[in-house]
Homo-oligomer: A and B are copies of this chain.
Amino acid sequence: MAKVLTYGMVGGGPGSFIGDAHRRAIALDGKAKIVAGVFSSSQEKSLQTAAELHIDKTRCYRDYLEMAEKEGARADGIDFVVVVTPNFTHYDICKAFLNAGINVACDKPVTTSYAQAKELQNLAEEKGLLFLVTYTYMGHVTAKCAQELIRRGDIGEVRTVMAEYPQGWLAFEDDIGGKQGEWRCDPNRSGGVNCLGDLGTHVENAVATMTGLKIKRVLARMDVVVPGRVLDDNDAVLVEYETGATGIYWSSQVAIGSDNSLRVRIYGSKGTILWFQEESEKLTVIDTDGTIRTIHRGYGDVPESAAKYGRLPAGHTEGWLEAMGNLYRSFIGCILAHEGGTFTEALIDYPTIEAGVEGLAFVEACLESSQAGNVWVNVQH
């Protein structure tokens, strides 16, 4: 009988979509059970969520510091914590749990500065702990398929990339009002970027994951489109990779009619791969001779390394939740392997703190470029 891990959560109280989503995603496989948490800064709301989740009152803590300390001290303390608070709080929370010897799963962007992210990376390494950054979209079977096809050379050497993530939910002046919009557009809580941190990092991570390319330098133009805003809501970035290949990244919150329209198009010397998050059950692969093939999840064209994540036969649509579930599947598998002494780096098939660090390096280089009048800036690694 397989061991069931236990976990706790910081954030995800009443009305939180993202906390709920993480819990559902973890529940998909039944390999981990929530037993502790700080769900809200309001103790009352926190207890309400704890009750709904059938969590013992004594493990519903006042704050994350108490939680890290007490869970770290328990013999049956949580195996990992899920951090789903606003970006600017990630750093302190993650640090506390790492210091308490607890593995961490944290929403992206993992911190609001490169230095902080790097510090968490070093800390996790030092403590021998695992760290998942939930770039959810990369959990899609088709994203993993694209990654493997490119890795094994199906489209040759990557030459140029067009990648974008437009949304429309902040297209209007009074959209600043919503709770989400409020902190995202507030420089004190968002760490100097809004759109680029929220969406641009997804673009950066998607391309990095699929192609394996490292960015050498960026030239960014970050604009504030909607009057009254302080932080960027539309960003164009020219990218040069270490191989000499080039890319264009676009992210926007003012593209009316776009939802989570993360789209990656990768052009290689022998073919092309087109991937669109909102239609993630399929992938388009274009061969050297121009033949366009649509690959469906669940078919033989999907390599085993990707196909194994499919939970449902082709035709039974999977979505975003399954994608997130897939990240946790690998993360939980690694924790179990770790505890069982069978862990190796090769088991890791989820975005780690390293991906988080890359994201912040990208953001900081873009900020510097944009502020300097759109000039090339090297990205730290």
Among B246, B269, B279, contact of A236 (Cβ-Cβ < 8 Å): B246
Of the residues B52, B248, B281, contact of A250 by C-beta under 8 Å = B248
Residue A112 lies at the interface, judged by CB distance under 8 Å to chain B? no
Given A1-B51, A298-B259, A316-B319, do A24 and B311 touch, yes or no (CB 8 Å)? Answer: yes
- B54 and A162: CB pair below 8 A? no
Report whether B221 and A238 are in contact in the complex, using a CB–CB cutoff of 8 Å: yes
Among B290, B295, B318, B376, contact of A168 (Cβ-Cβ < 8 Å):
B290
A279-295 interface with B by 8 A CB criterion: 279-281, 286, 288-295
**Contact check: which of B258, B267, B301 meets A252 at CB < 8 Å?**
B267
Q: A30 contacts which chain B residues (CB < 8 A)?
A: 23, 27, 52-53
- Inter-chain contacts of A300 with B (CB < 8 A): 289-290
Option from B2, B267, B298 in Cβ contact (under 8 Å) with A52: B2
* A115 at interface by CB-CB < 8 Å: no
What's the Cα separation between A101 and B1 when bound, in Å? 32
A265-282 Cβ-contact flags toward B at 8 Å (1 or 0): 101111110000111110
- In the assembled complex, the Cα of A261 lies from the Cα of B292 at a distance in Å of 14
Question: Given contacts A272-B257, A291-B301, are A316 and B312 in contact (CB under 8 A)?
Answer: no
Q: Kindly state whether residue A349 has any CB partner on chain B within 8 Å.
A: no
B256 touching A288, Cβ below 8 Å: yes
| Contact in complex: B52, A1 (CB < 8 Å) | yes
Q: Is A70 part of the contact surface with B, judged by Cβ < 8 Å? A: no
Q: Would you call A256 and B286 a contact (CB within 8 A)? A: yes
A374 contacts B by Cβ under 8 Å: yes
**A317 engages B280 (CB within 8 Å):** yes
Q: Is the CB of A256 within 8 A of B280?
A: no
Q: Range of interface residues on chain A?
A: 35 or more
CB-based contact B254/A159 at 8 Å: yes
Bound CA span A23–B311, Å: 12
A179 to chain B, nearest CB (A): 13
Q: For residue A255, give the distance in angstroms from its CB to the closest CB of chain B.
A: 5
The residue on B at minimum CB distance from A269 is: B171
Any chain B CB within 8 A of the CB of A364? no
Given contacts A234-B246, A278-B281, contact A286 B257 (CB under 8 A): yes
Q: Taking CB as reference atom, which chain B residue is nearest A33?
A: B54
- Which B residues touch A236, using CB under 8 A? 238, 246, 248
Q: How far is the CA of A252 from the CA of B4 in the complex (A)?
A: 42
Contacts of A265 in B (CB 8 A): 255
Q: Which of B24, B160, B238 sits near A28, CB closer than 8 Å? A: B24
Please state if A290 and B257 are interface contacts (CB–CB under 8 Å).
yes
> 12 A-B residue contacts at CB 8 Å?
A159-B254, A234-B246, A238-B374, A252-B267, A255-B267, A256-B270, A256-B271, A256-B288, A259-B313, A291-B301, A312-B320, A312-B321
Given contacts A280-B317, A321-B321, 15 further A-B contacts (CB under 8 A): A21-B316, A162-B164, A162-B250, A234-B246, A255-B265, A258-B315, A259-B296, A259-B315, A261-B315, A281-B319, A289-B300, A291-B293, A292-B293, A311-B321, A316-B319
